[in-house]
Amino acid sequence: MIRELTLATGLVLAGQAGLAACADQEGVCETASGGYHIELSEAENPPLVVFLHGYGGSGAGTMKNRSMVEPLLARGYAVMAPEGLERPNRDGIKSWNFYPGFGERDETAFLTEAVQDAADRFGVDTERVVLGGFSAGAFMVYYLACAAPDTFSAYVPVSGGFWRPHPEACEGPVRLFHTHGWTDNVVPLEGRLLGGGRFHQGDIFAGLEIWRVANECVDTKPSGFSTTGQFMRRYWTGCAEGSALEFALFPGGHGVPKGWADMMVDWYEGLPGG
């Protein structure tokens, strides 16, 4: 990717060492394709939130974001933070293979493998797995949900979407709750050029149109609006059975905002089968 993105994406989570743990075991949980960190709630057979770090971040750094992790644990969810792969010639910087040329690992296979490993080791519920991510992690969430929406039960990206050229279409239906900062200047709502024009982040509202088509929504008009604390929310109904689509804006910039975890869990648990 680009050095500019190194500095900007994932600042909330990057550079935070520690909490590299495999539940109550030392070190990172290792699978054939990579590693992950996990904390368990007190619930038996808990649901799982898998959260992907931003560009230049780490799974260990994600677990340091206690304002996100602790509310999830308190709600009975296990929290997993996988490690992205180091980018070639990028001084150890980690990211995700969501775009051609960004890596060789099959990330869908890796994440599925990591979840199954956590089920085998710790008893997490593979039927109740929510995939989230921040910035580059959210880009990964978008592309995985687009290509293989049945992989996990719901998708909750924060501050990331598609890149241009946008996908012509996505598989569906999907259950997706996108959260974004109104003043985000790293992944602006309208997108931006990177790498001297070699890369172009996509338009978030164009991405929502792709999801509405995938979900077979009968109208582009939102079905309703609500507010939750600082979050301004809009959602679409009249779509395919089993689908869900919601968008939340908050007044801040590029980061995972406080209050997001509880809002997201409320949304997820309000879905049929959530």
CA distance to 49, 118, 204, 233, 245, per residue, from 82 (Å): 11, 11, 25, 29, 25
In terms of Cα–Cα distance, which of 255, 267, 260, 268 is closest to 159? 255
pLDDT tens-place string over residues 133-167: 999 999 999 999 999 999 999 999 999 999 999 99
With b for 16 or more beta-carbon neighbours within 10 A and e for fewer, the 7-38 pattern comes to: ebbbbbbbeeeebbbbeeeeebbebebbbbbb
Residue 225's CB is within 10 A of a number of other CB atoms, namely 9
Q: Output the six-digit token pair for 48.
A: 């799982």
In terms of Cα–Cα distance, which of 260, 63, 77, 79 is closest to 159? 260
* Beta pairing partners, 176: 155, 245
pLDDT at 237 over 90: yes
Note the pLDDT of residue 26.
80
- Res. 273 pLDDT band, cuts 50 70 90: low
Note the pLDDT of residue 274.
61
Domains and CATH numbers, the chain: 3-269 (3.40.50.1820)
As a whole number, mean pLDDT of residues 230-242 equals: 97
Separation CA 255–CA 245 (nearest Å):
21
Separation CA 82–CA 115 (nearest Å):
10
Note the pLDDT of residue 91.
78
Average pLDDT taken over every residue of the chain = 91
- What is the reported pTM? 0.91
pLDDT at 35 over 80: yes
Nearest 5 degrees, angle CA 274-CA 267-CA 182?
150
Tell me, what DSSP letter sits at residue 83? P
pLDDT at 8 over 70: no
As a whole number, mean pLDDT of residues 187-191 equals: 98
Note the pLDDT of residue 10.
35
Note the pLDDT of residue 16.
35
